[in-house]
Amino acid sequence: MKLCSIAALAACLSGCLAGPDYHRPAVPVPARYKESPGWTAAAPADTAPKGEWWTAFHDPLLDRLEPRVAVANETVRQDYASYEEALAEVRVARSELFPTLGVTATATRSGGALAGSAGGAGSTRPVNAASLEGTASWSPDLWGEVRRLIEESSATAQADEAILANATLSEQTLLATTIIELRLADAEIDLEESTVAAYRDALRVTEQQGGAGITATPPSAVITARVALETAQADLIGLGVARAELAHAIAVLVGENPEDLDIPHSAVMPTLPIVPVGVPSTLLERRPDIAAAERTMAAENAAIGIAVAAYYPTLSLSADGGLSQSPLAGLLHAANRVWSIGATGAETVLDFGERHAQVQAAKAAYAGAVASYRSTVLNALEDVENDLSGLRILAQQAQALDVAVRDAARGTQIALAEFQAGTVDYTTVAAAEEVQLSDEQSALGVEESRLIDAVALIGDLGGGWSASDLHDPRHPAATASP
C-alpha cells in the first residue's frame, strides 16, 4: 500500500520539468535579396528545385552519377553512421523512464560430518538449497531530468540528420562542379586541337611561300610559325593531366576506385538553368546546415534543464520477491516466499558550487549555440547574394566575350587572307590567332563559372531540402538507409 502511494506521488511529480522550455530565437532576415531585382523573373516557390535538382542541367553524366552519391559516397556513409548512433542514444535515454527488472536464481549443494561417528569423522549427507528471486527498481523522473535528456538526445539526432542531408548536398554539388570542370577540360582540348590544326596549316603555308620565293618570307617567319605549333602541341598534352585528375576525383565521389570509372570525352557543356530564389526567410527551412544549427541550439537548451534538475532530490523505489528453501524439496510452496520493498531518497546538501557551475556552463553553451545559429543564417544569406551577383556579372561578361570572339574570329580570317595574298607576314596571323584563342578560352571559362555558380546557388538554397523532412526520434518513422 505504501509502495502504491509512493508511486502515485511520483507520477504526480513527474509532470515537472526543470529548466527553460525551448523557443527558437528570432533572426532578422531581409524581405528580399539585394541582387534579386533584374536577376530573374518572380516565380512561385513550388518551382524551386526539388529532389533530383541536377536534371535541370541536362547532362547525361550528371543524371547517371548524382544518385550514387547518397548511397556510395564514403563521407555520406560516415555521417549516416553518426546519425544512427544518435538515434541509438535516444533509445538509451528513453529506457531510463522505465523500471529495471531482473531475475536471480541460485542453487547450492553442501555437506558435513554425521553425528556419532568415531573421531567426529565419517560419511556426509549432502544438503541441496535453492532460491528464485525477482527484483524491480525504478527512479521516477520527478523533475524531468530524463525527459530533458530525451529532448536533448532527440534534438541532437535531428541535428545529425540535418548534417547528413548537408553532407549529401555538399558532395552532390561538388560532383556537379567537378563534372562541369571535366566538360570544360574536354572543350578546351577540342579548342586546342583546332588551334594545333590551324598552326600546322599556317606553318605549311609559310614554308611553301619561303621555299617558292613567292613572297619575301623571312626565315624568322617560319621559326615563328613552328614555335607557335610546338607550343600549342605542348599545351594540348598538358590539358590531359587536368582531365585525368578530374575523372579520378569523380570516381572517388561516387565511391569507386579511380581506375574503375571510364568517362568518355564530351565537349558538350551542361545547360545553364534558371533558378528561382524565393525570399530570404525560406532559407531558415530549406538549408540543412541552418536546421542542424537550430537543432543543436534546442539540444543545448535541454542540457540546461538537465543541469538544473541536479538541484533537486532523487527518489529510488525497489521491490524484491521470490522463493528460498533449504533443503530444496518444496521450493515452490507458498510458505517459502520472501519479499521486500523499499524507497531511497537522496539530496546533495553541499557541493561547493559544482551544480551552479554546471548550470552556468550549460547556459554558456546555449548562448554559443545561439550565436552559431545566427552566424550560420548570416553566412547563408551571404552565400546566396554572392551567387546571385556572380551570375549577374558573369552574364554581362559572357555577352561582351561573345562579341569579342566573333570579332577575333573575323580578324583571324582577314589576317589569313592577307597573309596568303602576300600583303602581310606571318606575325600578323600569329597575333590574330593568339587573340582569338585567348578570347575563346575566356568565353569557355566564363561559361564554366556561370554553371558552377548555378550549382552553388542551388546548393546554397538547400537543393530542394526542407526542415520538414527531419524525423522526430520520439515518434519513430521509417527512414531509408543510404
pLDDT range class, residue 104, cuts 50, 70, 90: confident
pLDDT range class, residue 210, cuts 50, 70, 90: low
226 within domain boundaries? yes
Range with lowest mean pLDDT among 151-165, 319-333, 382-396: 319-333
Q: Which residue has the higher pLDDT, 208 or 174?
A: 174
408 within domain boundaries? yes
Tell me the per-residue pLDDT of 365-413, one tens digit each, with 9 for 90 and over: 999 999 999 999 999 999 999 999 999 999 999 999 999 999 999 999 9
**What cell numbers appear for 322 in the block?**
521470490
233 within domain boundaries? yes
Domain extent for 175: 17-99+143-316+355-469
Q: Which helix (H) or strand (E) holds 323?
A: strand 314-325
256 within domain boundaries? yes
Instruction: From 380, 402, 405, 398, select the one nearest 451 (Cα to Cα).
Output: 398
**What cell numbers appear for 341 in the block?**
520493498
Supply the pLDDT for residue 45.
41
Integer Cα distance of 102 and 79 in angstroms = 36
Partnered with residue 323 across adjacent β-strands are 132, 337
322 within domain boundaries? no
Residue 361 reports pLDDT greater than 60: yes
Supply the pLDDT for residue 46.
42
User: DSSP string covering 16-52, please?
Assistant: ---SPPP-PPP----SS-TT-TTTS----GGGS--SS
Q: Which residue has the higher pLDDT, 165 or 216?
A: 165
340 within domain boundaries? no
Integer Cα distance of 264 and 266 in angstroms = 6
Mean pLDDT score of the chain, rounded to an integer?
85
Integer Cα distance of 175 and 253 in angstroms = 7
pLDDT range class, residue 211, cuts 50, 70, 90: low
Residue 479 reports pLDDT greater than 60: no
Range with lowest mean pLDDT among 125-134, 151-160, 175-184, 230-239: 125-134
User: DSSP string covering 251-302, please?
Assistant: HHHTT--GGG--------PPP--------GGGHHHH-HHHHHHHHHHHHHHH
39 within domain boundaries? yes
Integer Cα distance of 410 and 407 in angstroms = 5
406 within domain boundaries? yes
Alpha-carbon separation of residue 451 from 271, 387, 393, 413 (angstroms): 8, 11, 13, 31
Residue 440 reports pLDDT greater than 80: yes
**What cell numbers appear for 156 in the block?**
541532437
What are phi and psi for residue 41, nearest 5 degrees? -65, 150
pTM: 0.84
Domain count, the chain: 1
**What cell numbers appear for 241 in the block?**
593531366
Eight-state DSSP code of residue 114: P
Question: Which residues have CB under 8 Å from 186's CB, separation 6+?
Answer: 243, 265, 266, 267
User: DSSP string covering 438-455, please?
Assistant: HHHHHHHHHHHHHHHHHH
Tell me the per-residue pLDDT of 7-20, one tens digit each, with 9 for 90 and over: 555 555 556 788 89
Range with lowest mean pLDDT among 50-54, 69-73, 106-110, 460-464: 106-110
pLDDT (mean) for 317-330: 67
pLDDT (mean) for 135-148: 89
For 199-206, the CB contacts below 8 A with 24+ separation are: 199/225, 199/228, 199/229, 199/232, 199/433, 200/229, 202/228, 202/229, 202/416, 202/419, 202/426, 202/429, 202/430, 202/433, 203/228, 203/229, 205/419, 205/420, 206/426
Q: Which residue has the higher pLDDT, 333 or 243?
A: 243
Tell me the per-residue pLDDT of 270-307, one tens digit each, with 9 for 90 and over: 999 988 888 898 899 999 999 999 999 999 999 999 99
Domain CATH for 150: 1.20.1600.10
